Amino acid sequence: MREERFQPGDDRFPPTRRSVIEAVRSIDAEERERALESLCAAYWKPIYKYIRLRWNRPADEAQDLTQGFFIEVLERELLEKFAPKKGRLRTYLRVCVDSFVSNEDKAGRRQKRGGNVAHVALDFAAAEEELGGAVMDPAAIPSPESLEEFFEKEWLRSLFSLAVEELHQFCVARERERTFRLFEAYDLEGHDKISYEQLAKEYAIPVTDVTNALAWARREFRRITLARLRELCGSEEEFHREARAAFGAELK
Amino acid sequence: MKFLSDKTIEHLREAAEIPDLTGTRYRLLERVARGGMGVVYVAEDEKLQRRVALKVLDVPCADGDLANRLVREALVLARLEHPGIVPVHDVGTLADGRVFYTMKFVQGPRLDQYIEPVASLTDRLRIFLRICDAVAFAHARGVLHRDIKPANIMVGPFGEVLVMDWGLAKLLHGDVPSHSQGADPDATIFEKPGQPADSSGAAKTMVTGHGTVMGTPGYMSPEQARGDVEHLDARSDIFSLGALLRFLLTTDSKAADTAAEKRRLDKALGAICTKATAAIPSDRYSSVQELALDVSRYLDGLSVAAHRESLFERLTRFYRRYRFFILLIAAYLVMRVLILYLMHR
């Protein structure tokens, strides 16, 4: 492995990704598909879990509804109808999910939908595992008031998970696997169990290298998260608000 | 994809928010507040070995608007060297792309927290006069604050009063340094009604347009609330100072020591507040000095320009001001009468 060097100012600004809201209005079919994939990657899990808990649906039905919802987004051009000035995309999607599930019930037209939506692998088994005891234990099911909060929390979890994944790929591409392993060991698994000194000892590197590696990884994690967030917001104003919520104040 | 627990998410949020001070002379110590545009930390300036407050933007802004705004705030502060205005030390960009500036670290409560136990009306008015001093100085330098409110005033450990948060300041003479041209000097930033006006500033909504925004009810002049930012002048800040004075006088009834004092507060001080917060700018004081002069005259027991006194009020005020001498003369006269009476008995 080549020696890792950490230069302040490396990759300083997040690359400007086009907002999915703009992209779905594009005349380029590929761009529209990419936008839907980004949206699907970030939202399918929160939506699946939300349908499981809010609508109390069994796993197979929730899977169908989740896939059906994204088809609905595509067919009924729901993203084109979103007005960034009126609110957040996240809230809009949640309301659309509620309306979709409710309409499906009324029409009784639930149908099996095979395959994955927009080429995004929907690992429902993993989502189910993450839900854990919540669907089994009625006491663990969030109250209706806190379901909105639950959805937002799951969305943040999904956003951060995607960013961690992308950071991993970024580190591999830059031959900085060790940096990612340090980040994983300290920030993802054990900041309260392991110290910088222990990590330095384990990897046989100076403590300053651990400090620098973690600072670099966190900076990149932040950059990647913000770039994804920018993509998932309808306006700059929404982006600033969401960025602040993601890294600072409570998500409301 | 790796599952992130709630605890890990919280840790990542905190870890990623911490500014990366690599390559700067500062070492991060702790987070103290969240402002309108970013977060304020306490940091140690390792070169000068002193604590500073470091204000850093929330997000790196590709469009540069927020960054320009923060730089502009630092530049405004740099031109306002006054004991009542916190001095700025440094401005720059962090390795993660976020703009920051450092300023003097002041420890102390905000005015709304500080004022409650201050029972004396005189003490409250003296604090108000010090705020007026700082704002008048800024006006003399061509700077409007545009966000004067209790949450933006800090009281230091030695009683020093500091006007903070110049992020909304407007330069009256348009003398904006070249590298901050991107910032909109006429933009107004408001706070959502009903949200706490705390130092965290979380309630603030950043809007970068001419008057397309909401406001902090109660402290903003009507013309600012209308978004008529091009015509704002010192009288807009005078409105805010009037609202601040009203806050100081009404926050706690202990401010009025006696019933008589309370009556005077209603009339003279009430008139000052009313004049300062008049809906039409031309009905307000024309300068902060004029407002401060009226408050000083009140403190000295003199008549105030904002209130025309009746003969009874004038006599009462005269008596209150010269009570000692009037009582002395009265006592002397009573003694003389008593002596004359006893001599002629």
Q: DSSP for B284-295, please give it.
A: S-SSHHHHHHHH
- Domain boundaries, given as residue ranges, for chain A: 20-247
The residue type at A94: R
The radius of gyration of chain B from alpha carbons, rounded to an integer in Å, stands at 25
Neighbouring C-alpha atoms within 13 Å toward the C-beta of A106: 6
pTM check: above 0.90: no
In sequence order, the β-bridge partners of residue B144 are B170
Instruction: Give Cβ neighbours of residue A151 (< 8 Å, ≥ 6 apart).
Output: A46, A50, A54, A90, A94
H-helix or E-strand containing B93?
strand B88-93
- Which pLDDT band, with edges at 50, 70 and 90, does B60 fall under? low
| Helices A59-75 and A124-131: angle between axes, nearest 10 degrees | 120
For domain B15-104, the CATH architecture is 2-Layer Sandwich (3.30)
What the block records as the tokens of B108 is 């102390």
- Which residue of chain A comes nearest to B3, CA vs CA? A161
* Total residues found in chain B within this entry: 345
State yes or no: pLDDT of B257 exceeds 60: no
Indicate yes or no: CB of A153 within 8 angstroms of CB of B34: no
The minimum CA-CA distance between B72 and chain A, rounded to whole Å, is: 19
d(CA B264, CA B272): 12
The minimum CA-CA distance between B199 and chain A, rounded to whole Å, is: 13
The torsion region of residue A59 among left (phi > 0), alpha (psi -120 to 50) and beta comes to alpha
Output the CA torsion sign for B281, B282, B286, B291.
Answer: negative
B30 touches chain A (CB under 8 A): no
3-state secondary structure of B110: strand
Nearest by CB to residue A8, choosing from B2, B22, B63, is B22
Indicate yes or no: CB of B16 within 8 angstroms of CB of A221: yes
Secondary structure (DSSP) of B25-67:
SEEEEEEEEE-SSEEEEEEEETTTTEEEEEEEESS--TT-HHH
- Domain boundaries, given as residue ranges, for chain B: 15-104, 111-299, 311-343
Burial A80-92 (b: 16+ CB within 10 A, else e): eebebeeebbbeb
B280 touches chain A (CB under 8 A): no
**DSSP state for residue B344 in the 8-state scheme:** T
Spell out which chain A residues touch chain B, with contact meaning CB-CB distance below 8 angstroms: 6, 8-10, 12-14, 16, 123, 126, 129-130, 153, 156-157, 160-162, 164-165, 187-189, 191, 212, 215, 218-219, 221-223, 225-226, 236-237, 239-241, 243-244, 246-249
**DSSP state for residue B220 in the 8-state scheme:** S
d(CA B73, CA B84): 16
Query: Which 49-108 residues of chain B touch chain A by CB within 8 A?
Result: 58-60, 62-63, 66, 95-97
d(CA B43, CA B55): 10
Nearest by CB to residue B8, choosing from A126, A165, A188, is A188
State yes or no: pLDDT of A167 exceeds 60: yes
Burial B126-144 (b: 16+ CB within 10 A, else e): bbbbbbbbbbbbbbebebb
B45 is an active site residue: no
Residues A194-241 pLDDT 10s: 889 999 999 999 999 998 899 899 989 988 998 888 888 878 778 878
d(CA A15, CA A230): 10
Indicate yes or no: CB of A161 within 8 angstroms of CB of B97: no
In angstroms, the first-to-last Cα distance of chain A is: 44
Q: What residues in A contact B11, CB-CB < 8 Å?
A: 187, 191
| pLDDT at A141 (0 to 100) | 62
| pLDDT at A224 (0 to 100) | 92
CATH class of the region B111-299: mainly alpha
Residues A99-153 pLDDT 10s: 999 888 776 655 555 555 555 677 788 887 777 755 555 566 666 668 888 888 8
Residues B77-101 pLDDT 10s: 888 999 999 999 999 888 777 889 9
Catalytic residue among B112, B133, B147, B165: B147
The residue type at A109: R
Question: Nearest 5 degrees, angle CA B163-CA B42-CA B134?
Answer: 10
State yes or no: pLDDT of B284 exceeds 90: yes
3-state secondary structure of B87: coil
Indicate yes or no: CB of A226 within 8 angstroms of CB of B59: yes
Query: A161 with A64: CB under 8 angstroms?
Result: no
Reported ipTM: 0.78
Residues B189-221 pLDDT 10s: 333 333 333 433 333 333 333 443 444 678 999
Closest CA to A164 of A147, A183, A177: A183
